[in-house]
């Protein structure tokens, strides 16, 4: 799939087929995340892949969008490793780049995914559920799977409103 088409046509997918996602595809998605740029190439991202129904259920309880997690065959929890940080804003930007690589890779592999952020309100509970080290801080949960066939629309502000030109 062409890069710009993928960027342009990717949408958040919130409903998935029951079909499982192979380890091979998950590895391709994580590998795409791994190739994001980061300041000083510090690569502060860490991943937890969640497949177990019970764990997905526990995560689902931490967000009002729990149905998405509960009905997804797989979730990827993305963490910032605070032991690898060098500057907070730049590290968070790098993790945003890493997440976007994974969403684009999933889309190009004909998978759907959604970036869940509301769950961050319970990030410490999520960390406990996933038994992650103390230096891991939750940045996002990505739910992924084969998309159900649904119309999907999403708009964007026209480009001219985003470009600032000094008077």
| Choice between 20 and 118, CB closer to its own copies | 118
| Choice between 17 and 117, CB closer to its own copies | 117
Is residue 46 within 8 Å of residue 70, measured between CB atoms? no
The span of 13-21, 42-50, 61-69, 144-152 binding its own copies (CB under 8 A) equals: 42-50
Q: What is the DSSP letter of 71?
A: T
Question: CA–CA separation, 1 vs 105, rounded Å?
Answer: 10
- Cα 128 to chain centroid distance, Å, stands at 19
User: Could you say whether residue 103 binds its own copies (CB under 8 A)?
Assistant: yes
As a dihedral over the C-alpha atoms of residue 70, residue 29, residue 98, residue 161, rounded to 10 degrees, the angle is -80
Q: Which residues bind its own copies (CB under 8 A)?
A: 1-4, 6-8, 10, 12, 27-28, 30-32, 34-37, 39, 41, 43, 45-49, 79, 87, 89-90, 92-101, 103-105, 107-108, 115, 117, 120, 130-133, 136, 139-140, 154-157, 159, 162-167
């Amino acid at each position: 799939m062409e890069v710009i088409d993928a960027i342009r046509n990717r949408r958040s997918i919130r409903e998935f087929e029951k079909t499982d996602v192979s380890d091979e595809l998950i590895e391709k998605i994580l590998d795409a995340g791994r190739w994001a740029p980061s300041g000083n190439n510090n690569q502060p991202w860490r991943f937890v892949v969640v497949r177990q129904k019970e764990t997905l259920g526990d995560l689902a309880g931490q967000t009002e969008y729990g149905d998405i997690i509960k009905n997804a065959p797989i979730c990827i929890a993305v963490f910032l490793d605070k032991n690898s940080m060098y500057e907070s804003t730049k590290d968070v930007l790098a993790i945003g780049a890493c997440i976007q690589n994974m969403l684009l890779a999933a889309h190009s592999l004909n998978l759907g995914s959604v970036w869940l952020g509301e769950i961050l309100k319970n990030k410490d509970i999520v960390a406990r559920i996933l038994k992650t080290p103390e230096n891991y801080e939750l940045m996002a949960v990505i739910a992924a799977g084969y998309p159900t066939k649904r119309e999907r629309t999403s708009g964007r502000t026209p480009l001219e409103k985003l470009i600032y030109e000094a008077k």
